[in-house]
Amino acid sequence: MGMDGTLVDRYRRQKAYAGVGEKGQLQLANARVAICGMGALGSLIAERLCRMGVGYLRLIDRDWVELDNLPRQALYTTADAELVRPKAVAAKSHLSEINPDVCMDSVVEDVRFENALQWLSDVDCIVDGTDNFEARYLINDVAWKTGVPWVHGGIVGVVGQSMAFVPGRTACFRCLLPEPPPIEHMQTCDSAGVLGPAVGVVACWQAMEAVKILLKSDRAGDGTLSSFDLWEGAVRKIRVPKTAMCRACGAENYEFLEGAIGSQARVLCGRGAVQIQSSGRERIGLAALAERLRTLGKVFESPFLVRFHFPPYVVTVFEDGRAVIQGTENPDEARKIYARWIGG
């Protein structure tokens, strides 16, 4: 209701844009989107799509809100952190106040090969808000098996990237990156830091790519990777060609979705620990891993393992990719700690 008592169309200004219009707004209202990961990127993507009136949002995250999330995860509050609210639950609560017309489901789960099709196959677009490569390869497998487009995004420090992957039109994520990078060289937001404004740029870029997909724009999925260095103010567009020998979109070999590649977590009874077994990886360079972790805390190194102390946790990583997370018996929490400090 406007100040003069007349009804105001919530979406009138975006419908005024020629690329949307009345028809496009109806398309958005009928669209279904799954957002995988509700951290820095995912929470802002969800807010942008919610405000635009996307009809259904599935908010998926295994994690909970912590105080050090708040500088870059703008959807959440201090109260969320104090109450240790699951991110998916907190996000749904806040987004429902922003736009009650949007239907939302909160899924407090780790997306794994066992449940990926359940959560990601019945939507019009999947948006990547994850923090690890295993999840991205899994999303890619689902996308190419089901034909659902997805939008990738990632950022560490002030350097980010994004690309829209559309089955039948573009290359896939494994064309871009056939294998996960070596763990010992991977930086995370906890090891390299991250700045909130840089997160905002990448998240809004992803949201825009998702909107183009939902509107069936001919500009959706142009086959390029957008690369950002937000400290330098540089943006590059890099064309990613399809790879005929790609194991995913070429050979239709969906190894991550089939569980042939991926981490398996097992509680070690009586030890207060969880073992994560990573299959399908090359061996880890322990010396390089130890060197990277030494700037973050106490590290013990031997020819056989690297042990990193992050109170109340102790993380022990072996050359074959196996890790033991002491200080928890919760597999989801162990995966979070592994992704946060080691990479994944």
Q: Measuring CA to CA, how many Å separate 96 from each of 53, 133, 257?
A: 12, 30, 32
In a structure prediction context, what are the per-residue pLDDT tens digits for the chain, which is 344 residues long?
454 444 569 999 999 999 999 999 999 999 999 999 999 999 999 999 999 999 999 999 988 898 989 999 999 999 999 988 889 999 999 999 999 999 999 998 888 898 999 999 999 999 999 988 889 999 999 999 999 999 999 999 999 999 999 999 999 999 999 988 876 667 777 667 889 999 999 999 999 999 999 999 999 999 999 999 999 999 999 999 999 899 999 999 999 999 888 777 767 766 688 878 766 556 788 888 888 888 888 898 888 778 888 888 989 888 877 888 999 988 888 888 888 877 75
Q: Does residue 16 lie within any of the structural domains?
A: no
pLDDT computed for residue 6 by the predictor: 47
**In this structure, is residue 5 part of a structural domain?**
no
Residue 292's pLDDT is 87
Residue 171 and residue 61 share a domain? yes
Q: Do 191 and 337 fall into the same domain?
A: no
Residue 25 lies in a domain: no
Are 151 and 270 part of one and the same domain?
A: no
DSSP secondary-structure letter at 344?
Answer: -
Task: Tell me, yes or no, whether 206 and 307 share the same domain.
Answer: no
Question: What pLDDT is recorded for position 142?
Answer: 98
Same structural domain for residues 49 and 96? yes
> Which of 162-196 are b and which e, b meaning 16 or more Cβ less than 10 Å from the residue's Cβ?
bbbbbbeebbbbbbbeeebeebbebebbbbeebbe
Statement to judge: residues 195 and 325 lie in one domain: no
Domain containing residue 87: CATH number: 3.40.50.720
**Same domain membership, residue 179 and residue 49:** yes
Single residue among 206, 224, 239 that ends a domain in this structure: 239
pLDDT attached to residue 1 = 44
The H or E element spanning position 277 is strand 273-279
Residues 221 and 91 in one domain: yes
Note the pLDDT of residue 270: 63
Residue 14 counted as domain residue? no
Task: Establish if 113 belongs to a structural domain.
Answer: yes
Listed in sequence order, the DSSP H helices in the chain are: 12-15, 21-29, 40-52, 78-82, 87-98, 116-120, 133-146, 173-176, 189-192, 196-214, 286-294, 331-341
Which residue, 239, 271, 286, sits at the end of a domain?
Answer: 239
Asked if residue 130 belongs to a domain, the reply is: yes
pLDDT at 4: 47
Q: Among candidates 73, 86, 25, which has minimal Cα distance to 333?
A: 86
Q: Do 152 and 79 lie in a common domain?
A: yes
234 and 335 inside one domain? no
Domain span holding position 292: 262-341
**Does 198 fall in a domain?**
yes
Instruction: Please tell me the predicted confidence (pLDDT) of residue 279.
Output: 60
Domain CATH number, residue 280: 3.30.310.10
Residue keyed to tokens 């909970």: 64
Model pLDDT, residue 151: 98
Of 239, 270, 288, the position where a domain reaches its end is 239
- Domains in the chain: how many in total? 2
Residue 103 and residue 197 in one domain: yes
Peptide bond into 241 cis (omega under 30): no
Inside any domain, residue 123? yes
Judge if 171 and 85 occupy the same domain.
yes
pTM, rounded to two decimals: 0.83
